[in-house]
Structure formats: structure tokens, C-alpha cells
Amino acid sequence: MALRGTNQEFGRPYNRRIVLESVRLHGPTTRGEIARRVGLTVQTVSTIVRELEEQKYLVSFRDNPKGRGLPPTMLRINPDGGFAIGVHITPIGVNAALIDLSGDVVASLHQAVTNASPVDAFEIVAAMTPKLIQHKPKGRMLGIGMALPGPFGVESMSFVGPTTMTGWENVAIRERLAELTGLPAFLETDMAAAALGEQLYGLGKHFSEYYYLYLGVGLGGALVHEGRVMRGAWGNAGEIGHIPVVPNGEPCPCGNRGCLERYVSLDAYRRAKTSEAAWLKTVAPIFRNAITTIENLFDPETVVLGGLASAGLLDRMAELGADLPNSIAARRDRKTPRVVVARGGEHSVLRGAAALAVSGVLSPRFGQMFTGERERDILDGRGIAA
């Protein structure tokens, strides 16, 4: 998605956000490169950059000279320019982390709890939030994002089975989260949050069109198109774990039989009660067929394999992609493997959940950064209220 600025006076807040977004996505970069990308004059960009540097969102630097003349001044995001909290609620616990603007984890917390109720989960999050903020007590807190297992709002699938959270029906999650923390709050499925985190902080900078395959307690995914996670009409696109792949196969809590995540997921691995090598050998044909189906449906540049699985398990699953069936992805001019491993690591969902808040506040079109009273509060470093 192209970033384009506006020369209209009322567009100043928008232009500030779009310049900041350009540096986030393409930095380190120069004023001239920003101007070319967003369609503003170099003078306008320079004015905005000066303001953003004064408010510590951006920092400038020069590389060491390698010949005659000085290298151009480069711009990058200041990691300490803002912070967001990411929260991930799973059937086995509550995780939270403080993330800086570069996507690095400043601090993280975990509390084991089985299938936490909304009351219990919010109590835990309310206790974790000040502990995380203490690590950057003078930092600019942009917001808080929460990731939950999906799908959302589907009566027969949202709150049944080991991959979902029971008791969360009809809960005003965002409102409650904002009330508890005093921060702008955002909500998304765990797989979409992980895909967003990969887009901002991982392999997403190298691809404009890829499919993020999320291996968690269940199995899901999301297509990332021109930097945006595609969510579908109701926000539940990507629930490929509930595609029936084995006729008359294992019963699934969703009511169908032979669903993909009954065979390829961390829950399936746990239920198999066998060695990793034996499990991989058993599910390899199903996994390969799933990759081929994704390729034929979405024609991605590659499939990025990530989620909650260990790095070792993800690597070994990606190796199964060396012997994939034929699909439209089997092109002679391919320069990238059909399956690659995400860079998010164990904090992939937490980074993504925090990225929900960062993107929600800094989004060029919809973010509230630099507008009205909020603008003065944020620029003064006092943060923003929900």
C-alpha cells in the first residue's frame, strides 16, 4: 500500500504520521527518499522530521565517511520514542510484554492459568501493566493490544475446544482493557497479531505478498497483502485449521471431522504422545498438502511459518517444504523457498499485540497521533488516554 502525503494545511497531522510510518517501514532512510515515497516536498519533509526529532520519535545519524564528502544524514526510529504493551491470552496462561518502537522486548511477564475467565485475566493484566511500565517510567506509552485465540463471534467455533477461550462470550474486551489501563486498547486474533508483528519487525520488509502460517495450540494463518493483514468480512479470515482434510477423520470440537488442526498443531503434537520425529513423519503429507492448498488459493511469494512452536520445531517443519507437491508456486524463477521460518520467535504474538497499539495510534489514515488535544499531550510526552 503506497504512502502518500497531502499538501493541504489540514493534512499536517496526517503528514506527520505518514512520514513517521515511512521511516518505520523503510528506515534507515533519508529525507529525499521519504519525499519521493510519500509525494511531499523535501522542504515539507524536513520540517516534519525536525519536529519529530525534537519530540524524540526519530533520530538522525551519519555513517563513517568512505571517500570524499560527507555521507547523507540518515533517519531511523528512536526505539525509546514510544512503548506499547502486548498481551496474549491463551488456554494455558497470560503473557504480557513491554515493546519499544523498534519491536524489541523491554520486559515480559507470564502467569500460568488454565482457561482464565475474563475476570481473572483482566485482574492479571491489571497487575502486570504497572510492573511493565516501571521498566520505562518516563516513557511515552502509546497503547495496549490484546491477542486472543479466534475465531471471534462464531457460536459453534469461538468458545469450544482446547484452542479457544471459554466464557469470553459477549465481553466488551477493548472497553474493559482501556478502562483498566488508561491506554488506547486494541484487539485481534493471535494469528493476525503475529502476522502483523512479522510484517513490522520480521520478514515482512522483504515481501509484499506472503501467507503467515500460525502454528499454535491450533492452526491458523493470514494473508499479508501490500503490508496489510487481510481479515475478511467478519475479521476471521485465515481459520484454515478448520478446513476438513481427512474424510471421516478425527472429530473436531467445531462439529466437523478431519479438520487440519486436529493433525497439524501443538495440541495435535501433544495428543500424539510420540517423539517429534515420529509425529513429523506422520503429519508430513498433510502439512505438505496444506502448503500446496495455500499456494494455489493465494499465490503468495512465500509461506512464512511461525507461531508458538519452538524455533527447532518450526525449522524442522520448514524442512518438510523441500519436497512439496506441485502448485502454482513451483516457478522456475523462484528466488525464495516456498516455506521460510518467521523471525518473531517466542514473543511473536506479544510483538504483534503491541504492534496493534502502535499501528492503531500511528496509522496514517486512522491514528489519533498529533491531532487536537491529543497532539499536545503526546508531543509533551504525557501519553494519551483512551
Q: What is the rounded distance in angstroms from the CA atom of residue 136 to the CA atom of residue 155?
A: 41
Q: What is the pLDDT of residue 386?
A: 30
For the segment 359-377, the average pLDDT, to the nearest whole number, is 58
With bands split at pLDDT 50, 70 and 90, how would you rate the model's confidence at 206? confident
Contact 259, 245 (CB under 8 A): yes
Q: What is the pLDDT of residue 385?
A: 32
For the segment 31-55, the average pLDDT, to the nearest whole number, is 93
124-147 tens-digit pLDDT: 999 999 999 999 999 999 999 999
371 versus 221: the higher-pLDDT residue is 221
Percent over 70 (pLDDT), the chain: 86
Percent over 90 (pLDDT), the chain: 52
Would you say residue 182 has pLDDT above 70?
yes
Q: What is the pLDDT of residue 377?
A: 43
Q: What is the rounded distance in angstroms from the CA atom of residue 208 to the CA atom of residue 158?
A: 30
241-255 tens-digit pLDDT: 999 999 999 999 888
Where is average pLDDT lowest: 57-61, 138-142, 380-384? 380-384
Reading the block at residue 327, the C-alpha cell is 502448485
With bands split at pLDDT 50, 70 and 90, how would you rate the model's confidence at 10? very low
Would you say residue 379 has pLDDT above 70?
no
Q: What is the pLDDT of residue 161?
A: 55
Where is average pLDDT lowest: 63-67, 127-131, 218-222, 344-348? 63-67
Would you say residue 265 has pLDDT above 50?
yes
Would you say residue 103 has pLDDT above 70?
yes
Q: What is the pLDDT of residue 208?
A: 84
157 versus 185: the higher-pLDDT residue is 185
